[in-house]
């Protein structure tokens, strides 16, 4: 045998031996892999022996089809946990985390964690197959995802089977709470409305007592076109921002800025009959006209007020009641005027003090000399504003001036309210 043949035999022997070693290694590796899978399944069975899935029908519970889990994990095994997600007493942080993730309240999140799942549903976790025996035996497996599997129907879902039910319950509770709030708001509004009505009734009784007879109310206008025209004039004059409604500020500025001698001014005096230099009077009238209480006066509310001129306020009642007599020759005003007029047939400022004294006594409100002196001066100033012609304070007020004063409201208003 030649040397070359000898080396060839040695090479062949080594090759055969190497193949054998590789084959043995492959067999060992396969065996270890099989053993590792067996250990995994053993760990699964020990994790929840009572909830073990029927192996003949469902060997591997499938996660949802629309899963975004990596392929490596899908090739792994599933641990079937239990009928609950947590199975114990979840921590506060865990409950809050689940609540934020699912979009429910803390109360519902706790239910999702501790309550039993519906029949057939189990909680499942996907884990990697390549874990050591120690890792499989511990509770710190590298969990990739949790899903829910129904062993009766084969259905799987990433969402908790009860989350839709609990969300619906939460929505119903929210709707009921909002409905209760709306009901309470309506009840409060009705209560406030009744308070206003009772206040008006009290004011009507007081004014009737002051007048010593029931107050009969007159219609301010009977012509509907005149009512509409007057309402439009007021709105056009006062509505500075031209939004079709009067705010409290616009109403106040409009009254205070109107010229008493102009046509609009005279209409305003005749309609509202308030001391528009006193803000509280203006605010009171505004609130009376503002039927819906939204803080603005619409054209409809103005029109209703002008047309109605009912028992909206004590000032209106006084004006309408006093206007009914139109200060006739046999009225108490005429008698008082004739009693205290001077030799020129007029009331000067000194005599007006006596008039106030007399009017206060008739109204059941005795006035002091100081009050009468103060109001006599006020009366003269108002007459100067209300008169068409130039009014001479020194000369005094004629009966026509006195009628203008009484019909426009401030005389009776001052007496009854003791301004």
> Quick check: is 8 in a domain?
no
Whether 277 has a pLDDT exceeding 60, the answer reads no
Beta strand extents in 17-135 (DSSP E only): 77-80, 121-127
pLDDT band for position 403 (50/70/90)?
A: low
Question: Based on the domain organization, do 221 and 348 belong to the same domain?
Answer: yes
Question: Based on the domain organization, do 270 and 404 belong to the same domain?
Answer: yes
> Quick check: is 12 in a domain?
no
Output the pLDDT for position 126. Answer: 62
Question: Based on the domain organization, do 232 and 346 belong to the same domain?
Answer: yes
> Quick check: is 225 in a domain?
yes
Say which range, 19-23, 186-190, 194-198, has the weakest mean pLDDT: 19-23
Domain count, the chain: 2
Of 137, 165, 193, the residue that ends a domain is 165
pLDDT band for position 220 (50/70/90)?
A: very low
pLDDT band for position 67 (50/70/90)?
A: very low
Question: Based on the domain organization, do 253 and 372 belong to the same domain?
Answer: yes
> Quick check: is 114 in a domain?
yes
Q: What percent of the chain has pLDDT over 70?
A: 43
Output the pLDDT for position 139. Answer: 46
More confident residue, 183 or 81: 183
Question: Based on the domain organization, do 118 and 220 belong to the same domain?
Answer: no
Question: Based on the domain organization, do 393 and 268 belong to the same domain?
Answer: yes
Question: Based on the domain organization, do 157 and 77 belong to the same domain?
Answer: yes
pLDDT band for position 13 (50/70/90)?
A: low
Task: Tell me the per-residue pLDDT of 233-246, one tens digit each, with 9 for 90 and over.
Answer: 778 778 888 888 88
The two tokens of residue 33 are 């892999």
CA-CA distance, 302 to 235, in Å (whole number)? 8
pLDDT band for position 362 (50/70/90)?
A: low
> Quick check: is 43 in a domain?
no
> Quick check: is 315 in a domain?
yes
pLDDT band for position 136 (50/70/90)?
A: very low
More confident residue, 141 or 384: 384
Question: Based on the domain organization, do 243 and 299 belong to the same domain?
Answer: yes
Q: What percent of the chain has pLDDT over 90?
A: 0
Whether 296 has a pLDDT exceeding 80, the answer reads yes
pLDDT band for position 295 (50/70/90)?
A: confident
Mean pLDDT in residue range 281-293? 81
Domain assignment of residue 410, given as a range: 211-417
pLDDT band for position 327 (50/70/90)?
A: very low
Whether 34 has a pLDDT exceeding 70, the answer reads no
More confident residue, 314 or 127: 127
Give one DSSP letter per residue of 36-51, joined into a string. Answer: HHHHHHHHHHHH-GGG
The two tokens of residue 89 are 């007493």
Nearest to 251 by CA among 227, 286, 219: 286
CA-CA distance, 25 to 29, in Å (whole number)? 6
Give one DSSP letter per residue of 294-345, joined into a string. Answer: SSEEEHHHHHHHHHH--SS-HHHHHHHHHHHHTT-TTSHHHHHHHHH--TTS
Question: Based on the domain organization, do 139 and 276 belong to the same domain?
Answer: no
């Amino acid at each position: 045998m030649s040397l070359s043949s000898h080396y060839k035999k040695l090479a062949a022997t080594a090759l055969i031996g190497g193949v054998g070693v590789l084959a043995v290694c492959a067999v060992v590796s396969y065996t270890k892999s099989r053993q590792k899978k067996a250990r995994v399944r053993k760990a699964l069975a020990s994790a929840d022996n009572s909830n073990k899935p029927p192996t003949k029908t469902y060997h591997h519970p499938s996660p949802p089809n629309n899963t975004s889990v990596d392929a490596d994990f899908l090739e792994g095994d599933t641990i079937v946990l239990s009928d609950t997600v947590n199975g114990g007493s979840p921590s506060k942080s865990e409950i809050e985390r689940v609540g934020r993730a699912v979009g429910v309240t803390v109360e519902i999140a706790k239910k999702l964690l501790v309550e039993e799942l519906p029949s057939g549903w189990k909680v499942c976790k996907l884990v990697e197959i390549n874990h050591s025996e120690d890792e499989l035996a511990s509770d710190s497996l590298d969990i990739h995802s949790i899903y829910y599997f129904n062993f009766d129907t084969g259905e799987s879902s990433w969402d908790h089977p009860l989350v839709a039910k609990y969300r619906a319950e939460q929505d119903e509770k929210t709707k009921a709470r909002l409905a209760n709030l709306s009901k309470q708001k309506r009840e409060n509004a009705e209560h406030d409305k009744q308070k206003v009505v009772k206040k008006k009734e009290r004011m009507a009784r007081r004014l009737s007592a002051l007048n010593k007879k029931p107050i009969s109310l007159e219609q301010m206008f009977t012509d509907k076109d005149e009512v509409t025209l007057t309402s439009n004039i007021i709105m056009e004059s006062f509505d500075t921002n031209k939004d079709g409604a009067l705010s409290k500020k616009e109403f106040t500025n409009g009254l205070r800025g109107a010229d008493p001698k102009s046509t609009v001014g005279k209409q305003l005096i005749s309609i509202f009959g308030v001391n528009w230099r006193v803000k509280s009077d203006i605010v009171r009238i505004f609130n009376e006209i503002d039927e819906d209480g939204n803080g603005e006066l619409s054209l409809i509310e103005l029109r209703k007020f002008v047309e109605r001129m009912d028992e909206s306020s004590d000032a209106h009642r006084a004006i309408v009641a006093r206007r009914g007599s139109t200060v006739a020759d046999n009225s108490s005003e005429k008698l008082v005027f004739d009693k205290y007029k001077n030799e020129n047939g007029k009331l000067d400022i000194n005599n007006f003090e006596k008039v106030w004294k007399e009017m206060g006594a008739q109204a059941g409100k005795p006035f002091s000399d100081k009050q009468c002196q103060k109001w006599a001066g006020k009366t003269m100033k108002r007459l100067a504003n209300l008169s068409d012609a130039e009014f001479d304070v020194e000369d005094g007020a004629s009966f026509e001036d006195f009628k203008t004063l009484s019909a426009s409201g401030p005389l009776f208003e001052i007496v009854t309210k003791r301004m």
